[in-house]
Every structure is written in structure tokens, then in C-alpha cells.
A and B are shown apart, each in its own frame.
With several copies, the nearest count.
Chain A
């Protein structure tokens, strides 16, 4: 679907003004922010929710009888309820609040897998994964003697489904797979993949860091066992994230970290762990961050994830179309289903130089391996330049990017 350049997406132009970070000049030019896949800007309601919490409501949660502590607890637990509804979890007990996708995945690797994996067992991932969905499995495989196996991708950046399904033997205990690739934007056909994995009796963790900010997510409809995501990529604060897990699976797992709040009773003889979700939340949580994350969920829900997905798909189509007009442009990642991210190379210009030249024009993109070195190795590239979208981007941003790339071509002409 290619939109003509003259058709602005009207509804979304309003949201842009909610993001103070976008309204600044960088190197003398109005900022064009095309790095939301790394981390998104935050809307005023999120920034204000955090500041208001810190000014008016802060105290430690859960164990206080005084008013502020009660208020902080209500706000913190209220955010959990919002998240529960946002991804259609079955119960708030399934929403484990973490510091981000990375911690969520490490939690599963250590708490779910470490005690269970034996030599001969396998953990299955794909070549598309982010380091956060690779290294935790490497660590636990090394600890247990299990084997990490990897399904390949094709030149477009799509997982080779036939080969993935062939690898789903009885030896595989867990499949870790991304929802959307942060390096190439490929959307994995999760429904089919999860169905096949469940038929083979395989537990499935979805790395949803790049899914949740860009499309509606319904964990029950997906049918996976774990779904991990980060607050800072969905317009919330850094240091926040979620591990959603199926209640029965979470129940069966030992705690991850030990400390305050995750216990019912401590003595030196025996310690009784708390119920879900608290069993997995040791120590004082990131209360102000989670309050901000709750505000981000409200913000996204008010717009509607369907509308956001539609807006971004249009914009992505436009970006692809416009990039293709540039001489010497090579799009990297051309999966048939793609979301919000486009990697590319321009002539022989190293991505790092592209990044600097664009930055001089106020255009922020990311360059390098995007924490997905295996993707780069597979495609034989040292890295790529990557433009990624958020709900606040518009046609003008794309036009500025195109003009900036033309200038880069001239520098290296």
C-alpha cells in the first residue's frame, strides 16, 4: 500500500505535540527522530505522571499502613492492572514487573530453564534475534549442558519456516522467538509458529520488545507461554518492563531473585515465598517508572493500537517507496510482513558515516549491528543504517530523511 505523498495522516499530527522531546533543534535543524526502535520519546502525560508521583505520592509500596504508602501501592498496582488489560492477560498475577525485556528473558532462562534443562535438551531460537534473546540462552545452555540451536533466515530477513519446524523435535524444551525484528522489521507469523511449537510440546517465549509498541497484542490469542517487553520502547520510562507468563507455568517456577517483598516468611530454617506475581519481584520496585508505564498504557489505549498500527504501516510503506528512489540505495530487510523498522545501505558509505552526516542535519537514526550481530553475519554486513518509526512520525520526517541521504551521497560522491 503506497500512499501518495500529498495525503497527510491527519489524526496523528495532533499527537506529535504531546512529545516535548521532538520539539527541539539538533545541530541547528528541527529534530527528526527516527530511532524509536532503540528507545521511544515520551509524551507529556507520562513525564508528568512520573514527576507528579515523585512530588506528591512517593513512599515505599506494599508494606506501609500510612496514607502515602497506600497511595503509592494503589498507583503501582493500578499500573499492573492496566498492563494486564492492555495485553489481555488472564489475571494480574501473570504480570511480572521487571526492569525490561532483557531481565524478563533472563528470568525465564534462569528460573524456568536452569533447573529443567539437561544435556541433550535443546533451546531453539532464530538468526533474527536480538542479543537479549540469544545470550541468556547461551548462558543457561552452558550452565546445563543443553544445546542452543538456531533456525535460519532467508535473504529477505524472514525466518525459514520449514527449517524452523524441522528443528522442533522432541528434544526442544523452549522456543525463544521475536515478535518483530528490531534489525530488519520482519514480523514473525507467530500464530502458526506457536501452534506448531505447542503441538510439539515446546514452551514458547516471545520477545515482544518491538511488538507491543506498534500493534495490538493479545497474549491469550497468541497462545505462547511467556511474552516479554520493555517500557521505554512503548513511550514509557526506562528501567521498566514486563514478563507475562501463563499462571500455571509461573506457579511451577522457583523464584529468580531473593529479597524483600517476594517472601511471606523468612527464618533461617525455612523461607516461604510469596504468591504470584510477587514471588518474582524482589526488593523495592521501580515505582515511579511503573507509574509512568501505566500512563503510557493509558496514552496508547486512548489512541488505539489498531490505529497506531495502521498509521505506522502507511508510513513504513511511504518510507520504503521513497528510499527506493535514491540512487545506490540497498534496502536490507524486505520481509513480506514488516513493521516500523527499515534498515538500508547507501552505496559504499559505511553506516556510521551516514549516521554522522544525518545527525548534522538534525536527523537521528541508528547505525551498526543493532544488537543483532548474527543477522549482520548472515547478511555479510558490518552493520546497517536503520530508520525506525513511532506513532509520532510523519511524512515530513521521511522527506527530511530522503533529503539528508541525498546530501550524504554528495559528501561521498
Chain B
């Protein structure tokens, strides 16, 4: 972000990492071999993301991708999500969902997460907490993850 942006709250929202993931999302595209998928819609802004997962016989998320359009916050969050839960078992991914959404909506710190989980990067989204109208953007992909894990093909953040 250009240093000329003087507003600290704004800087806190659009951190380097967020802008980086938003403009160069990781794991972007469609997984042809997906075993699970879900679509998330944020009616607030009309954003929609599709999440694709390959879950192997051992209940591990073997691969994951997303596609769709959205604001910087929802794209960055989706991109970070894919990095975070890839290679996790379903239960750990579910724990991530709970930890992340609680952190954003209630400000609580995640309870002891399994060692396998690399949660720290997600703290880049902490600035969203000060922007209540954007929390749904940050949680959209996560709700889609939750829906996919529970085999519900469509979810919304309303």
C-alpha cells in the first residue's frame, strides 16, 4: 500500500498481505476432481465464491481451490483459507472455521488449535473487526467451507 495513505484504520484493514492475496489469489480455479464443493453468496455486495475440495479416504483435505469474484477482503480471506486448511483433516479444518469466525465476530482468541494448524497468517484479517460491515466479506469463504464439509451446496452470509 502506498505510504501516502495516512489513515491507520484503513492501513490496518488493507495490509500488505491482504492486498497481495487479493490481487494474486492462491489456489484459484476449479478443481475438476473435487469431492466436496459449495457456493457462498454475500447478498450485501453480490459477491459469490465457489469452493472445491478433494477429501481423501482418510478424511484429509488433499487439495482445495476457489473461484469467483469479490472484494479484496473476501478474495484475500478465501486465498488465505485455502493455504490454511490444505492438508488438514476435516475436523481440524472445522476447528479453524470456528476459531476464525469467532475471532472476527466476537474478538475471541482461538482456543488451543491442533499443532498442525498454521493459524497465524489469518491474523492479517484482524483489521476487519473494526469494520463491522465487512465481516461478512471476510467470513464468506469460511461459511462456504463449512457448508462444503456439511454437504450443503449453497450458503449465504445474510
Residues of A within 8 A of B (CB): 27, 62-66, 69-70, 74, 263-265, 272, 274-275, 278, 348-353, 356-357, 360-361, 367-369, 373, 376, 382-383, 407, 410-413
A/B pair count, beta carbons within 8 Å: 90
Instruction: Determine if B45 and A264 form an interchain contact, defined as CB atoms under 8 angstroms apart.
Output: no
Instruction: Determine if A352 and B5 form an interchain contact, defined as CB atoms under 8 angstroms apart.
Output: no
Instruction: Determine if B10 and A360 form an interchain contact, defined as CB atoms under 8 angstroms apart.
Output: yes
Chain A residue at smallest Cβ distance from B68: A382
Instruction: Determine if B10 and A350 form an interchain contact, defined as CB atoms under 8 angstroms apart.
Output: no
Interface-lining segment among B59-67, B70-78, B108-116, B117-125: B70-78
Instruction: Determine if B46 and A373 form an interchain contact, defined as CB atoms under 8 angstroms apart.
Output: yes
Interface-lining segment among B27-35, B96-104, B126-134, B144-152: B126-134
| Further 18 A-B residue pairs, CB within 8 A, beyond A265-B43, A376-B46 | A70-B132, A70-B133, A263-B43, A264-B43, A264-B158, A274-B158, A275-B158, A350-B69, A350-B70, A352-B73, A352-B137, A356-B134, A357-B10, A407-B4, A407-B5, A410-B4, A411-B1, A411-B10
Q: Point out the residues of chain B lying under 8 angstroms from A376, CB to CB.
A: 46
Instruction: Determine if A412 and B46 form an interchain contact, defined as CB atoms under 8 angstroms apart.
Output: no
Residue A350 contacts which of B41, B72, B154, B158 (CB distance < 8 angstroms)?
B72
Q: Point out the residues of chain B lying under 8 angstroms from A412, CB to CB.
A: 14, 19, 72
How far apart are A176's CB and chain B's nearest CB, in angstroms?
Answer: 23
Q: Point out the residues of chain B lying under 8 angstroms from A373, CB to CB.
A: 46
Known contacts A65-B134, A376-B46, A413-B2, A352 near B71 by CB under 8 Å: yes
Q: Point out the residues of chain B lying under 8 angstroms from A352, CB to CB.
A: 45, 47, 70-71, 73, 134, 137
Q: Point out the residues of chain B lying under 8 angstroms from A272, CB to CB.
A: 154
Q: Does B93 contact A (CB under 8 A)?
A: no
Residues of B within 8 A of A (CB): 1-2, 4-5, 7, 9-10, 13-14, 19, 23, 41, 43-47, 69-73, 131-134, 137, 154, 156, 158
Q: Point out the residues of chain A lying under 8 angstroms from B47, CB to CB.
A: 352, 382
Q: Point out the residues of chain B lying under 8 angstroms from A353, CB to CB.
A: 14, 71-73
Residue B46 contacts which of A64, A70, A368, A413 (CB distance < 8 angstroms)?
A368
Name 10 A/B residue pairs within 8 A (Cβ), A-sorted. Answer: A62-B44, A264-B41, A265-B43, A275-B158, A352-B134, A352-B137, A367-B45, A382-B69, A407-B4, A411-B14
Instruction: Determine if A63 and B44 form an interchain contact, defined as CB atoms under 8 angstroms apart.
Output: yes
Cα of A383 to Cα of B69 in the assembled complex, Å: 10
Instruction: Determine if A278 and B158 form an interchain contact, defined as CB atoms under 8 angstroms apart.
Output: yes
Instruction: Determine if B133 and A64 form an interchain contact, defined as CB atoms under 8 angstroms apart.
Output: yes
Q: Point out the residues of chain B lying under 8 angstroms from A265, CB to CB.
A: 41, 43
Chain B residue at smallest Cβ distance from A63: B44
Q: Point out the residues of chain A lying under 8 angstroms from B2, CB to CB.
A: 410-411, 413
How far apart are A327's CB and chain B's nearest CB, in angstroms?
Answer: 14
Q: Point out the residues of chain B lying under 8 angstroms from A413, CB to CB.
A: 1-2
Q: Point out the residues of chain B lying under 8 angstroms from A367, CB to CB.
A: 45
Cα of A47 to Cα of B113 in the assembled complex, Å: 50
How far apart are A94's CB and chain B's nearest CB, in angstroms?
Answer: 15
Chain B residue at smallest Cβ distance from A261: B43
How far apart are B113's CB and chain A's nearest CB, in angstroms?
Answer: 29
How far apart are B66's CB and chain A's nearest CB, in angstroms?
Answer: 15
How far apart are A184's CB and chain B's nearest CB, in angstroms?
Answer: 16
Q: Point out the residues of chain A lying under 8 angstroms from B19, CB to CB.
A: 412
Cα of A274 to Cα of B158 in the assembled complex, Å: 8
Cα of A62 to Cα of B133 in the assembled complex, Å: 9
Instruction: Determine if B4 and A356 form an interchain contact, defined as CB atoms under 8 angstroms apart.
Output: no
How far apart are B72's CB and chain A's nearest CB, in angstroms?
Answer: 5
Most chain A Cβ neighbours within 10 Å, of B9, B45, B47: B45
How far apart are B156's CB and chain A's nearest CB, in angstroms?
Answer: 6
How far apart are A361's CB and chain B's nearest CB, in angstroms?
Answer: 8
Chain A residue at smallest Cβ distance from B154: A272
Instruction: Determine if A410 and B44 form an interchain contact, defined as CB atoms under 8 angstroms apart.
Output: no
Cα of A69 to Cα of B156 in the assembled complex, Å: 20
Q: Point out the residues of chain A lying under 8 angstroms from B41, CB to CB.
A: 264-265
Q: Point out the residues of chain A lying under 8 angstroms from B5, CB to CB.
A: 407, 410-411
How far apart are B138's CB and chain A's nearest CB, in angstroms?
Answer: 11
Chain A residue at smallest Cβ distance from B132: A70
Q: Point out the residues of chain B lying under 8 angstroms from A263, CB to CB.
A: 43
How far apart are A358's CB and chain B's nearest CB, in angstroms?
Answer: 11
How far apart are B65's CB and chain A's nearest CB, in angstroms?
Answer: 19
How far apart are B6's CB and chain A's nearest CB, in angstroms?
Answer: 9
Known contacts A357-B10, A407-B5, A411-B14, A65 near B45 by CB under 8 Å: yes
